[in-house]
Structure 1
Amino acid sequence: MSSHAAHVPVLPQDSPQDHGQASPATGPARVRRATPASRGAAIAFALWVLMAASLPWWGESSWMREFVEFSCYFILAMMWNLLAGYGGMVSVGQQAFFGLGGYVMLALGNLAGLNPFLAIPLAAVAAAALAVPVSRIAFRLQGGYFAIGTWVIAEVFRLTLANIPAVGGGSGTSLTALRGMDRDLRELLTYGTALACVVLCIVGLHVFLRSQRGLALQAIRDNEVAAESQGIAVARMKLAVYVVAAAGCGAAGALYFVSNLRISPDAAFGVQWTAFAIFIVVVGGIGTLEGPMLGAVLFWLLNKFLADYGTWYQIGLGLLAVTVVIGFRQGLWGWLRQRSGIELLPTRRWLVGEGVEDVPRR
């Protein structure tokens, strides 16, 4: 982000209000960036990470496999939320980078002889690199045309990979690079990688969205013209977010197919990946960090206990999404936050002090 981001209309960190100095109009004031709930959430998150890290020593292997699958859906949803919920770029083609990450991991493992776990971050880098030229096409489109255009790009990726025999063609292939690895070790490494990716995703997005660049991104989402008039480099910021979202989707795809041990174009580039991400974000609460977390847990529970009902399960997901959109326009977390005022991962600022109302600031 260029120095233009400094022009985002937020209270400067070194203003008199921050240091509790008197203001002629409001008296002593300061900027509050945390809440009692968020401090408690930080402690709970640290304890959860410690507990999750110790799971291989006291839990069952099936629990680790469930967490890996959950992680892939969660990371994909968080990346879609960053792109659409905070950046205002609604895409239905993020499966392009999800599948690409899986295929890059497979190619590096099977053809280049690289350890697939080391190939996961390289797959994320490859997805980010390819997102740059892809953005030159996608960013020519706006609104619904952008959404459909991203889906068409994903289909181009699928058809291209289906015609490359070295990676299995249309029928796909298995990940043979892990054939000689002990199963318990493979599951442990997969679980550890998934946990690291989830923690990095949550912490990284929270830090970014609390920064001036995060505020600039939200200003772009609300009004691009107004944001650019304030000196924000709109095109550069949108490109950066698109690239980061692509990298996250690529990492999720590589992780999923390391766990699954087999990949095919239809499985890797299916539109259901983005559909699941949209469901998680919309039901949980778009434009929040807590929403996709709640939505991912709800989706995992539904998938765990109702998936055996086949078509009725899919109909149920659709009805739930429609109900939430009509009855809870801000998602379940948005509705809960509005009623309770709780913010576990706040990205806003509050101007507080003597003579100042507790007013949130962007």
Structure 2
Amino acid sequence: MTISQMVTSRAAAALDVSRAARSSKLSAVVMLAAVAVLAALPFVAFSNVTDTLVNLFVLIALASMWNLLAGFGGLVSVGQQAYIGIGAYSVIAFADQGVQPYLAVPLAAVTCVIFAVPTSWLAFRLRGDYFAVGTWVIAEVYRLLVVRIDSVGGGSGKGLAGMSDLDQTLRGALTYWVALALALATIAACYLLLRGRLGLSLMAVRDEETAASSVGIDVRRAKRVVYLVSAAGCGAAGGVITVSSLSVNPDAIFSVQWSAYMIFIVVIGGIGYIEGPLLGAVIFFGLQQLLADYGSWYLVLLGAIGMAAALWLPRGLWGLMRDRTGLSLFPVGYFVRGRDA
């Protein structure tokens, strides 16, 4: 062994490499306690509180899926409302066939994956801005197709069957728990995907697709995996929206406004961080509750906040917090420190 190799070996032995920072372990305990409190909330809070929180959980799920797609996969989509709509109508169709609506939510996610496979072959022929516009066009095509299907209500929409037999209080609690499970599942899916080899491949593809391909990364496969996962998450969110509202309308469920919400949440929260959609969704949800009565000024203020965040906080609020505190709730990289630190 040469002297340089000996020095390198001793330096490596003096370092401690781990997948979690010390602060992450404490934050994990805090998050588990928060989840336990949220799960018990229907027993101690009024139904209007839990009904409102369902919207927050849906926003977290949708933003997490868009962040996985754009923040880690480099696929900026303006058409994820396609899978929200497909998921919503899948729940309607399954319920009409006698499937319990809550059980239809995961089936809606699977249905969206099935639709996303051929859709991805078309969408991935586009790049950059063309991909973004193309996904929006695809979503509009799906909406126009649904409008022409009389069995699901056509242009006027349709009510959800199979819910009238449930007690209203029980129905509200079940909807709340399903929405909470959806939010937790989407966050966990992002975390588990990004901690593995796929996560490294995605970030390489996002940073420089040509270079990633040159070192042996299957770029198309990595993109397709996150596209399908994002479609499943958005489809399940659409299903939760349906069981919460008990009806679906094609113009509302396929609205590009859903993509606008996702983009806004991720931009202000922090794109490229798992924690970003969580923080952004809470802020967006708070703004909705405070400013919804102000009509058009509510939208003007949201636009101003979004532009300010894009100009002065390109990494979002969580990026700023991460730079100043080093806090990471969901570490997906490696932490290196001295053993005596």
> TM-score, normalization: structure 1?
0.89
Q: Report the counterpart of residue 56 of structure 2 in structure 1.
A: 70
**170-179 vs 153-162, which deviates more?**
170-179
The aligned amino acid for 2:24 is S
- Give structure 2 stretches of 5+ with no counterpart: 1-6
* Match of residue 327, structure 1, among 298, 312, 315: 312
Match of 1:115 among 89, 92, 100: 100
**Contact 1:26 1:354 survives alignment (8 Å):** no
Q: Do residues 147 (structure 1) and 132 (structure 2) align?
A: yes
Counterpart contact for 2:21–2:335, Cα < 8 Å: no
Contact 2:19 2:334 in 1 (8 A): yes
Work out whether 1:47 is the aligned partner of 2:33: yes
Identity between Structure 1 and Structure 2 (%): 48
Q: d(CA) in 2 for partners of 1:96 and 1:26? A: 50
Q: Deviations over 1:275-303 (max 9, x none)?
A: 00000000100000111111000000000
Correspondence for 1:97? 83
Partner of 2:3: none
Greater Cα shift, 345-354 or 210-219: 345-354
Comparing 344-353 with 307-316, greater Cα deviation is found at 344-353
What is the rounded CA distance, in whole Å, between the counterparts of 2:267 and 2:238 in structure 1?
A: 21
Whole-angstrom CA distance in 1 between matches of 2:339 and 2:48: 55
C-alpha distance in 2, partners of 1:271/1:26? 51
AA in 1 matched with 2:319: G
> 1:234: how far off?
1.1
Task: Give the distance between the partners of 2:106 and 2:339, measured in 1 at CA.
Answer: 49
Cross-structure match for 1:353: 338
Residue in 2 that maps onto 1:4? none
Matching of residues 244-283 of structure 1 within 5 Å: 244-283=229-268
Residue pairs, 1:180-219, within 5 angstroms:
180-219=165-204
Q: 2:22 aligns to what?
A: 36
Tell me which moved more, 246-255 or 227-236: 227-236
Provide the residue aligned with 1:298 in structure 2: 283
CA contact (8 A) 2:70 2:76 kept: yes
Query: What's the CA shift string for 1:331-354, capped at 9, x where partnerless?
Result: 111112112222222212123336
Amino acid at match of 2:269: G
Secondary structure in 2 aligned to 1:104? helix
**Taking structure 1 as reference, are residues 228 and 310 closer, same or farther at Cα in structure 2, changes over 3 Å only?**
same
Structure 1 residues 118-129: aligned runs within 5 Å: 118-129=103-114
- In 1, the alpha carbon distance for the partners of 2:119 and 2:242 equals 23
User: Hey, which bits of structure 1, 4+ residues long, moved more than 6 A?
Assistant: none
Change (3 A) 1:23 1:140: same
Q: CA deviation at 1:27?
A: 4.4
Shift of 1:24: 4.9
RMSD: 1.6
- Partner SS for 1:178: coil
Please name the residue that 1:9 is paired with: none
Q: Deviation per CA, 1:300-335: give whole Å up to 9, x if none.
A: 000011111110000000000001111111111111
More helix by share: 2
> What is the rounded CA distance, in whole Å, between the counterparts of 1:132 and 1:344 in structure 2?
32
Indicate conservation of the 8 Å contact 1:99/1:253, yes or no: yes
TM-score (norm 2): 0.95
Separation (CA, whole Å) in 2 of partners of 1:238 and 1:29? 35
Corresponding residue for residue 178 of structure 1: 163
CA contact (8 A) 2:80 2:135 kept: yes
Q: C-alpha distance in 2, partners of 1:241/1:27?
A: 37
Match of 1:242 in 2: 227
What is the distance in 1 between the residues matched to 2:9 and 2:324?
32
Give the equivalent residue in structure 1 for 2:66: 80
Q: Aligned AA for 2:83?
A: F
Could you tell me how far 1:89 is from its partner in structure 2?
0.2
Give the match's secondary structure for 1:351: strand
